[in-house]
Structure 1
Amino acid sequence: MPSSSLPLATAGAQNPIRSVDFMHDAQICRRRFRTFSVIDNFNREALSIEPDLNLPAQRVARTLDRIAANRGYPAMICMNNGTECISLTLAE
C-alpha cells in the first residue's frame, strides 16, 4: 500500500456509513442502461439497486428518502465525485 493512501473508513455499527454509486452497461442490442446502488458498509447489504435507462436526480433523492424512512439517515455517505452528483436536487 502506498504511504499516501488513507485506509477506508469502516463502520462499527449498522447505518453510520453508506456507499452510493452509479454504474452503466449495455445490452446485446447496444441499448445502454444505468444502475444506482446503495450499500450499507457495516454488513455490505445492498439496500437498493435502481436500474433504468435514465436516472434523474429526483429519482435518486426519492430512493435515498425511501431507504431513510425504513433505516434512518446515515452519519456519512461515501461516493466518488463523479458528475452524477452535481445536481442541486441531490445537494438539498
Structure 2
Amino acid sequence: MSTVYRKAYEREGLRGIYQKELERASQNQPSDDRRSPVHIAWLYTALGQKELAFKYLEIAYRERSAEMGVVKNYVGFAPLHSDPRYQDLLRRIGLAS
C-alpha cells in the first residue's frame, strides 16, 4: 500500500481509501481501469452516495461499458438493490430477473 493510501486509511479507514481512489479517478489517466464509470459508481456506492453512483452507472450504460455485466452480481452494489433505478438499469441492460 502506498504511503498516500496508508495515511488515508489511518485517518479515515476504508472511507479514506475510497476518497483517494475517487481523487485518482478524476485525474487524467485514460489507461487506468480505475477511471471506469462502473468503478467510480462502486466507490460512490461504498461511500453511501447513491445519487452519484447512479450518475456513473448511467454513464457506463450510455458508453455501453463491458463492465456493466458485473453490476447485477457484484456485492459492492448491494446497497442499490432496493432502489427502483437499479432494477430499471438491470432491465435495460438485459439482466433483470
Does the alignment reach a TM-score above 0.5? no
Give TM-score scaled by structure 1 length: 0.38
RCO (CA 8 Å, sep 6+): is it higher in 1 or 2? 1
Q: Which has the higher strand share?
A: 1
Q: Which has the higher helix share?
A: 2
Give TM-score scaled by structure 2 length: 0.37
Larger of the two Rg values belongs to structure: 1
